[in-house]
Amino acid sequence: MARIIKQKEKNQEKRFHTELLEQLVAALAWNETIQGFVKEFIEPRIPGSGLLSKLIYALLVTLLAVLITYQLSRLSARFQQSKH
C-alpha cells in the first residue's frame, strides 16, 4: 500500500515539474512576443519613447509573471491536496 502511494506521489511530482517547465517555455516565448510588440507598435508611434517603451514592456512582463505565479500556486495547492 505504501509503495502504491509513493509511486502516485512520484507521478504527481513529475507531472508538476513537467507543467512548470511548459509554463517557463511559454513565458520565454511571450517575452519575445512582448519585446516585438513594443518595438513594432509602441516605439514607432511615440517619438522618443525609449523610457515609455521599457515601462510598457516591464508592465507586460510583470503581468505575465503574476499570472504564471498565480497559476503555479493553484497547481501547487492542487498537488498538495492530492497528497493528503
Q: Distance between CA atoms of 9 and 39, rounded to whole angstroms?
A: 45
Q: 6-20, pLDDT tens digit by residue?
A: 787 888 888 888 888
Q: Distance between CA atoms of 15 and 79, rounded to whole angstroms?
A: 10
Amino acid found at 46: I
Residue among 77, 53, 62 nearest 27 (CA) = 62
Domain boundaries, the chain: 18-83
Q: 5-59, pLDDT tens digit by residue?
A: 778 788 888 888 888 888 788 778 888 888 888 888 878 887 777 788 788 888 8
16 close to 75: Cβ distance less than 8 angstroms: yes
Residue 84 carries which DSSP code?
A: -
